[in-house]
Structure 1
Amino acid sequence: MSDLVPKILIIFFEVLCSKIFCEIFGKVRYKGWINVVQLMVFEIIVFVAVSALSNLMSLKQIIMALIYAVSMLWHVKISTRKSLVLGVLYQAMLMSTDYLAYSIGRELSLLDEVQGKQYNLENVLVILLGKAILFLGIIIVRRKLGKKSVEVLCDTDWLKLLIFPIFTIVIISSMLTFFKYVESSEQIMLVFIGAFGMIGMNIVVFYLINDIVERETQLYEHKIFQLQVKSQSEMYRSISENFDRQKKKTHEYKNQINCMEHLLQRKEYLKLEEYVKTLYSKLDKELDAIDTNNIIVNAILNTKYQEADVNGIVVVLRVNDLSGVWIKDEDIVTILSNLLDNAIEACKKCNSGKRILKLKFVNEDGMIKIGVKNTFSNPIVYENGEIKSTKLVRAEDHGVGIKNIIEVIERYGGSYIIKEDNHEFYFSIIIPA
């Protein structure tokens, strides 16, 4: 086997790892074929640089760090300073993993075998061991610092993903141990095909899982978007219906005033008094009971208050002037609609007399405080430490609704507490005003 083929494959793997590494810290600039062009261009540049600077170790490290910095700047949307830092960091990871692999080879009594040319047959296994360790390190960094889409995989799934690179490291280490017993060129070829094949399979498995994660993330985001659209549509429909009712009431009030005027003219004061009392009792029910000086909050609270009242739910409210709330309307809809929908559904399953919903929404002490407490009868279902449902609505909608609320809270730098006690469910939110 020529030194050229292993050299090209090893450099290709290094460039591919640098691509995976920089994608942890920024969004990819381009989609499609241009990524393949980038990969090929930097494969050639790195190959030339490594070949030309093989005898100038210190200069080689500086040049390679700069090359990787430029490649990262081209591939992902990051600043020049950040790309330089990442380029230096990646080159340091390369050196560290190569040194670790060399140390393992020396401990495995291969010191004599790994001396000589940089890419001779005896040394390639040690280099591949270093690349396998590098790949494992990048996966761990991606899990700790990666973008939100990686959260689709739970810890158990990530442990399963780590098994393959760990297994590769063990197998290549075993190959190093028994390499001195390999004699024929056919055996050598078989060993290297196996080693490079395992490295290649790591990349294939990684991208297969990454594609699955990306699709799951898109489905999850689409589901959240649908819930947001549904909640907002319901609120806008409620506002529109309220407006239509007000127009009808305006016409009714004109007729009622004419009727009262007619009773006055006829001096039928007792009938007039009864008529006014009847109108007053109806007016109490028709007028919005809650006014916070915030149109969106008013629409949500009054709609949910009426729904709770129809279902025999006692509602206890504490609100104040919310005209200065800086949370976007769509985010207010997301938080309040999901919280109150879940609370009302839970209360509806309770026995009469035990249907209680308490809501606090105040802007005080430099904080926006939202709290919802409701009674419930069905057991709460937890999955991976998160609330899945209370078996009251579709479990997937309930779980996504709560996650959606949490995402909004975190986006505004807020905090939250979720707890249950004595058949009462409590969700408290604090967001800086």
Structure 2
Amino acid sequence: MENVFYWGNLVLSYGVTGYVMFQFMDEMYSPKYKEKWKYIAFYLLFVIGAISFNRIGIPILKTLYGMIAMCAISLALFKSRSKKLILIYSLIYFLYIIWIDVLSVLAVTVITKLTISIVKETSGLLFVTGLCGQLLMLGSYKLVIALCQKHKIRTIATKQNIFLIILALFEVILITYIALQIEENSNGFILMIVTLCLLGLDLYLIKLFEDISQKYQLEKEMDLRDQQMLMQATYYQSIETQYDHSRRLIHDMKNHMQTLEELYSSGSGIEAKNYAQTILESMDALSGRFKCKNRILTIIINDKILKCDEQGIEIDTQVEDLDFGFIDPFDMTTIFSNLLDNAIEACSKILVEKRKIDLKVYRFNGFVTISVRNPYKGKLVWEKDSLVSTKGGNHMGLGLKNVASAVEKYDGTMQRKSDKGYFEVKILMSSESKTDM
């Protein structure tokens, strides 16, 4: 009879755990395949593996197996924006499982008024404990998923996420230690109260960190708004200046034509040709400003063109007139302003004759491609996959991190490479992508 309870508890426990795990992944990620048999096969492999590791009897191995299996299944069967998210959600899920196990054991001890050690040593009570845990899990996993989706774990800073995970692990260790100390002489009622209080503290800290992140995000958006307003004012000022120049040119055009006619009449063909070239250059200067149907992009690029003019930087803008309506104006400013500001700053450190920025924006195979290429002086400093600086500071690194964060919202990718003294950033985004809920 004990074997029946033992194996029944194992199959029920890991069967429900695997089911909830797949439901969790299906809600947090996007499935890669339409064939259901692949998911069923991985589910069965997970359950069989979990039972096998449980038979070994080493708790840490069971936990490691669960973590590694969830990460592997997530990568194999689901699509996620980043591997970091997969790791974070895997940790959250298994901390959730641990809390369920602890609460189910404590609930049975409180109801039966037996000690923790008696419950753990009695196969029938252990089966009831497992059943309570599975019922608790089935009744609460949708709430956990909703909390993860609502609070957007990815918006919380990495350091804050690490702090929360370390805190949760500490709490689990603390509760386990207390349980070991009292398992011979207590039914766990006080430990149940302590556990619920710690869970409440965790939820409060998550909400607090989210509020802090939202505050930083709001400050960032306000800075971007100020930057947009400044660029807009500069752009309108340049338009006003252009209008004034064009009005004066048109006003003097009659005199220019008369002068040209007199030069040709007097046989001064070379002087007439040079004079005509001067007029054409003046007209080109008035009509050569960047224009596209996206008002924000027009303002941004014209602002950067003016900065390039001030520093003697040649800028080549090969920009298709695409529909950027799928990108939020703040993200548009973040992407183009940071990329072009970094390129301008890098060019300002080299000889004037070598200063050149190539900006290309075009559609390729259904994707919008943005490329910014410029020469640089110095040594590129990388930390893992992120560029820190070309000058020992962190301005460029922060700028590119902001660009990467903005691009990620639209399921885009950002590639960075350096070759023969040139640095290039290339971005690919689908115009059909949507931001996170």
Q: With structure 1 as the length reference, what TM-score do the two structures score?
A: 0.57
| Deviation of 1:370 (Å) | 0.6
Q: Give the letter aligned to residue 366 of structure 1.
A: G
Map of 1:51 onto structure 2: none
CA deviations 1:180-238 (Å, max 9, x no partner) are: xx7xxxxx9xx865x35642551464255325412421232123202321332233224
Q: 1:241–1:405: structure 2 CA closer, same or farther, 3 Å change rule?
A: same
Asked if structure 1 preserves the Cα contact closer than 8 Å seen for 2:175 and 2:195, the reply is no
Map of 1:418 onto structure 2: 416
Asked if structure 2 preserves the Cα contact closer than 8 Å seen for 1:347 and 1:374, the reply is yes
Map of 2:222 onto structure 1: 226
| Deviation of 1:399 (Å) | 5.3
Question: What are the equivalent positions in structure 2 for 1:123-202 lying under 5 Å apart?
Answer: 147-148=152-153, 151-154=156-159, 156-179=162-185, 193=190, 195=191, 198-199=194-195, 201-202=197-198
Q: Distance in 2 between matches of 1:272 and 1:167?
A: 90
Q: 1:354–1:101: structure 2 CA closer, same or farther, 3 Å change rule?
A: farther
Structure possessing the higher radius of gyration over alpha carbons: 1
Asked if structure 2 preserves the Cα contact closer than 8 Å seen for 1:325 and 1:368, the reply is no
Q: 1:413–1:204: structure 2 CA closer, same or farther, 3 Å change rule?
A: closer
| Deviation of 1:372 (Å) | 1.3
Asked if structure 1 preserves the Cα contact closer than 8 Å seen for 2:115 and 2:184, the reply is no
Instruction: Could you tell me which runs of 5 or more consecutive residues in structure 2 were left unpaired when the two chains were aligned.
Output: 1-23, 29-92, 432-437
| Deviation of 1:169 (Å) | 2.8
Asked if structure 2 preserves the Cα contact closer than 8 Å seen for 1:346 and 1:374, the reply is yes
Asked if structure 1 preserves the Cα contact closer than 8 Å seen for 2:410 and 2:429, the reply is yes
| Deviation of 1:292 (Å) | 5.0
Q: Distance in 1 between matches of 2:356 and 2:274?
A: 35
Q: 1:250–1:426: structure 2 CA closer, same or farther, 3 Å change rule?
A: closer
Q: Distance in 2 between matches of 1:392 and 1:237?
A: 33
Q: Which stretch of the first structure deviates more once superposed, 249-258 or 291-300? A: 291-300
* Identical residues among aligned pairs (%): 22
Map of 2:50 onto structure 1: none
Q: Give the letter aligned to residue 409 of structure 1.
A: V
Asked if structure 2 preserves the Cα contact closer than 8 Å seen for 1:343 and 1:373, the reply is yes
Asked if structure 2 preserves the Cα contact closer than 8 Å seen for 1:346 and 1:392, the reply is no
SS at match of 2:156: helix
SS at match of 1:110: helix
Q: Distance in 2 between matches of 1:95 and 1:353?
A: 65
Q: 1:110–1:387: structure 2 CA closer, same or farther, 3 Å change rule?
A: farther
Q: Give the letter aligned to residue 248 of structure 1.
A: D
Aligned residues: 324
SS at match of 1:213: helix
Question: What are the equivalent positions in structure 2 for 1:81-120 lying under 5 Å apart?
Answer: 97=101, 101=105, 109-111=117-119
Q: Distance in 2 between matches of 1:380 and 1:208?
A: 42
Question: What are the equivalent positions in structure 2 for 1:220-259 lying under 5 Å apart?
Answer: 220-259=216-255
| Deviation of 1:341 (Å) | 1.1
Asked if structure 1 preserves the Cα contact closer than 8 Å seen for 2:115 and 2:183, the reply is no
CA deviations 1:257-291 (Å, max 9, x no partner) are: 23225536867754765543333333444432545
| Deviation of 1:384 (Å) | 8.0
Asked if structure 1 preserves the Cα contact closer than 8 Å seen for 2:366 and 2:430, the reply is yes
Q: Quick check: 1:350 aligned with 2:366?
A: no
Question: What are the equivalent positions in structure 2 for 1:271-310 lying under 5 Å apart?
Answer: 274-288=274-288, 290-292=290-292, 294-310=294-310
Q: Distance in 1 between matches of 2:367 and 2:278?
A: 43
Residue 263 (structure 1) aligned to one of 256, 259, 284: 259
| Deviation of 1:340 (Å) | 0.7
Map of 1:311 onto structure 2: 311
Question: What are the equivalent positions in structure 2 for 1:373-388 lying under 5 Å apart?
Answer: 373-379=373-379, 386-387=386-387
| Deviation of 1:362 (Å) | 1.0
Q: Distance in 2 between matches of 1:104 and 1:380?
A: 60
CA deviations 1:403-433 (Å, max 9, x no partner) are: 4433443333333223445554332111224
Q: Distance in 2 between matches of 1:210 and 1:312?
A: 49
Q: Distance in 2 between matches of 1:112 and 1:251?
A: 91
Asked if structure 1 preserves the Cα contact closer than 8 Å seen for 2:354 and 2:375, the reply is yes
Q: 1:311–1:246: structure 2 CA closer, same or farther, 3 Å change rule?
A: closer
Q: With structure 2 as the length reference, what TM-score do the two structures score?
A: 0.57
Asked if structure 2 preserves the Cα contact closer than 8 Å seen for 1:149 and 1:213, the reply is no
Q: 1:253–1:393: structure 2 CA closer, same or farther, 3 Å change rule?
A: farther
Q: 1:312–1:171: structure 2 CA closer, same or farther, 3 Å change rule?
A: same
Asked if structure 1 preserves the Cα contact closer than 8 Å seen for 2:413 and 2:427, the reply is yes
Q: Distance in 1 between matches of 2:416 and 2:365?
A: 22
Q: Give the letter aligned to residue 429 of structure 1.
A: I
Map of 1:367 onto structure 2: 367
Asked if structure 1 preserves the Cα contact closer than 8 Å seen for 2:246 and 2:286, the reply is no
| Deviation of 1:373 (Å) | 2.1
Q: 1:324–1:342: structure 2 CA closer, same or farther, 3 Å change rule?
A: same
Asked if structure 2 preserves the Cα contact closer than 8 Å seen for 1:345 and 1:392, the reply is no
Q: Distance in 1 between matches of 2:257 and 2:140?
A: 87
